[in-house]
């Protein structure tokens, strides 16, 4: 088992997208919500190593059945359940992907003292297959905190190492 960052006086957060990160765009499944086991094992290594809290930023957060499936799968693999979800700033139940950077920014602003608020976090990483760096809104807070995942490969061991490097940077 990994070392918890809270024991080291550190608390880190992973903003997690699912499609393209914990499944590949080439994965074929009859299941509506599918998670690739190899990619899930890679994610487990990241969480075990860093002790990070998991904040769901994926569109899966908008579906109660999807969140339940994700938490059940995490339980089966010994991964902590989702700690929180970003808000959907759209007025409908749909999700505009270009709003994701703002939704993450708002979560940080409301929930953490990263912007002088409640939860003490020392660092965070965003795992997403969309190129959020190209999104102009709130770009400054994402610099050095974003790992772009190739949706063809999903969360590889190399991307896990990149995320660990970000989360362990002081």
Element (H, E) at 73: helix 64-77
| Sign of the four-CA dihedral 6, 78, 101, 130 | positive
pLDDT tens string 31-47: 778 999 999 999 999 99
Question: What's the domain range around 145?
Answer: 5-168
What mean pLDDT is predicted for residues 21-33? Answer: 83
- At 53, phi and psi to the nearest 5? -75, 150
pLDDT tens string 70-91: 999 999 999 999 999 998 876 4
The whole-model pTM stands at 0.85
Domains held by the chain: number: 1
Query: Where residue 26 sits, what CATH number does that domain have?
Result: 3.40.50
């Amino acid at each position: 088992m990994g070392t918890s960052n809270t024991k080291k006086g550190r608390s880190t957060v992973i903003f997690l997208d699912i499609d393209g990160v914990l499944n590949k765009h080439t994965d074929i499944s009859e299941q509506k919500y599918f998670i690739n086991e190899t990619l899930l094992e890679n994610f487990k290594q990241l969480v075990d190593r860093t002790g990070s809290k998991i904040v769901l930023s994926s569109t899966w957060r908008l579906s109660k059945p999807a969140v339940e499936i994700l938490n059940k799968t995490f339980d089966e693999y010994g991964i902590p359940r989702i700690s929180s979800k970003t808000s959907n700033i759209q007025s409908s139940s749909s999700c505009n992907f270009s709003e994701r950077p703002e939704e993450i920014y708002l979560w940080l602003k409301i929930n953490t003292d990263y912007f002088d608020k409640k939860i003490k976090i020392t660092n965070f990483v965003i795992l997403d297959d969309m190129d959020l760096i190209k999104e102009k809104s709130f770009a400054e807070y994402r610099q050095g905190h974003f790992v772009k995942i190739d949706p063809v490969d999903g969360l590889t061991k190399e991307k896990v190492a990149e995320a660990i490097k970000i989360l362990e940077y002081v």
